[in-house]
Amino acid sequence: MYPLELVRPMAKDLTDFGFKSLSSSTEVDEAMAAQTGTAMVVVNSVCGCAAANARPGAKMALGHGKTPDQLYTVFAGVDQEATERVREYLLPYPPSSPSIALFKDGKLVHFLERHHIEGR
């Protein structure tokens, strides 16, 4: 678990851009159950590849004509319960943070794992 004062700016980077932060398994289940259309879920983290690539990349992806209907985020190492629940929706992929998932009508259609996000 990371100190909130350390991660708050990292979480705010996405919530200020319109992502809804999910902090419990109940919130995750409610968001997934209510989902129609498309959703982007970002598993945020404190690592450098989240700061350099994942968060900026997620925000840049929204700068085009077609964007997901819902935007959600959980913070690995902070929102442990929510992160574990999101990862259940991401199976069969192993836990990966940061990561970015795209869902359509509640079904996972694309997943970017950490190794896709890390700088080269």
Task: Give the CATH number, domain containing residue 32.
Answer: 3.40.30.10
Instruction: Give the total number of structural domains in the chain.
Output: 1
* pLDDT at position 82: 96
Q: What is the pLDDT of residue 112?
A: 87
Q: Specify the pairing of strand 38-44 against strand 20-21.
A: unpaired
Active-site residue, selected from the candidate residues 47, 78, 82, 112: 47
**Annotated catalytic, 49?**
yes
Task: Using the structure block, give the residue that is written with the tokens 């359509």.
Answer: 104
Q: Residue 120 has what pLDDT?
A: 57
Q: pLDDT at position 81, please?
A: 95
Low pLDDT (below 70) residues in the chain: 120
Nearest-angstrom CA–CA distance, 54 and 52? 7
Domain span holding position 51: 4-117
Point out the catalytic residue in the list 31, 49, 82, 86.
49
45 in active site: no
